[in-house]
Amino acid sequence: MKQQDKSTMEMSQDGYDTKVLPVTPESIKLAAKLLQEGHVVAIPTETVYGLAANALDEKAVERIFSAKGRPQDNPLIVHVASLPMMKNLVVDIGTEAQKLAAEFWPGPLTIVLSASDMVAKNVCAGLDTVGIRMPNHPAALAIIEQAGIPLAAPSANLSGSPSPTTAQHVYQDMKGRIPLILDGGMCDVGIESTVLSLFPVVKVLRPGYVTPQEIESVLHCPVQVAGAVTAPLAEGQKVESPGMKYRHYAPQAEVTIVRSSLESYISFIDKNKGDGVYALCFTGEGAQLPVPYIEYGEEQKASEQAAALFNALRLLDDKGAVTVYARSSSLQGIGLAVYNRLLRAAGFRVIDI
């Protein structure tokens, strides 16, 4: 181990002695120091917790991939605290991105642009573009500012499991793998940022809290939504956002989405009840069901569903659910982002009644 590592972290044969600290001026200072030294730190953002490292340092970024078990061809999002910090990372910001940043930053919108040579090669995972966002979380912004470096940060879960919306979720997945987790409480948004590519057409690669309609109203041009958002990639189909091709957000249980009225859902569950069968339903519905259930927000409130979904998926695992039948979110507005995560958790199993 390098000499400088000893001052701020300890690592034994079994890995790191992972610390979970509340957000304070001291813990922010410690996080910034570890990041400057090339370590990985889990930080809260408004969307989900991120697994952060110096985006300009290939070795530091490599540590993210190994802590997460992430496939090498899936690029990372870079987090900045200011527009000047972003300018060094891209070839040209351009007017569209400037308009979007003015409207939505800090916030849950990632903009994909041509990457400059400063960005560590493995951040882009072989692409010539980089996805950048300014997180809307005071601790995240303070850490980036104090460290003075842009931070590459994927969601702080093990690759393939649901994204973490609390520090406890991060600890479950990252214990022993990283030196520090900053606990900023529950994430407000609860699902990852919208990923938007601007060239050759404006296209949402991953839906999120910022909706295609909101983007259209800022850019005054049509905004496409990548087909992979609501359907599995066909054999040989070009991957626009490498993250789309992996099974994601998946709990241990086998999840199936049931698209139906509440009435039909109740009778479907009644016919399919049995050992290990759970319902993932909307708030207020559970008491009408003949199986154990987890509720994930009100039917008409997609933002509540977004905030609750990943925690609900982890709770189902904790309870030992084997088979889960999930009520479907709507596909409108933020509902599309919820549906996109649910669909991946379900491995694209959908029943229409």
Q: Which residues bind Mg ion (CB under 5 A)?
A: 155
Smallest distance, ligand TXA to C-beta of residue 103, A:
17
In terms of CB distance, is 63 or 206 closer to ligand TXA?
206
335 binds, among ligand TXA, Mg ion, none (CB under 5 to 8 A by kind): none
Judged by beta carbon distances under 5 to 8 A according to partner kind, the member of ligand TXA, Mg ion, none in contact with residue 130 is ligand TXA
Tokens, residue 274? 């049995």
Q: Is the CB of residue 279 less than 8 Å from the CB of residue 293?
A: yes
Residue 108 C-beta: closest distance to ligand TXA, Å: 6
Nearest distance in Å: CB 334, ligand TXA? 14
How far is it, in rounded angstroms, from Cα 163 to Cα 160?
Answer: 9
The residue of the chain with the least Cβ separation from ligand TXA equals: 243
Q: Which is nearer to ligand TXA, 74 or 211 (CB)?
A: 74
Q: How far is CA 326 from CA 183, 307, 322, in A?
A: 30, 16, 13
129 contact, one of Mg ion, ligand TXA, none, CB 5-8 Å limit per kind: ligand TXA
Q: How far is the CB of 250 from Mg ion (least distance, A)?
A: 12
Which among ligand TXA, Mg ion, none contacts residue 212 (Cβ within 5 to 8 A by kind)? Answer: none
List the structure tokens of 325: 């039948």
Q: Closer to ligand TXA at the Cβ: 162 or 297?
A: 162
SS3 350: strand
- Closest to 241 measured CA to CA, from 208, 196, 209: 196
Q: Alpha-carbon distance 345 to 339, whole Å? A: 10
Q: Is the backbone peptide bond immediately before 106 cis, with ω within 30 degrees of 0?
A: yes
What is the nearest approach in angstroms of Mg ion to the Cβ of residue 50? 9
In sequence order, the 6+-apart residues with CB closer than 8 A to the CB of 232 are 348
The nearest distance, CB 195 to ligand TXA, in angstroms, is 5
β-strands 151-152, 15-16 pairing: unpaired
Residues binding ligand TXA (CB under 6 A): 45, 47-48, 50, 74-77, 108, 110, 112, 124, 127, 129-131, 135, 153-155, 192-193, 195, 205-206, 241-243
Residue 94 interface partner, choices Mg ion, ligand TXA, none, CB cut-off 5-8 Å depending on type: none
Cβ count within 10 A of residue 215 = 22
Contact present, 75 and 123 (Cβ < 8 Å): yes
Rounded-to-integer distance, Cα 24 and Cα 37, Å: 20
Name the binder of 120 from ligand TXA, Mg ion, none, CB < 5-8 A by kind. none
Rounded least distance, CB 197 to ligand TXA, Å: 6
Q: Which is nearer to ligand TXA, 248 or 327 (CB)?
A: 248
Gyration radius of the chain over CA positions: 20
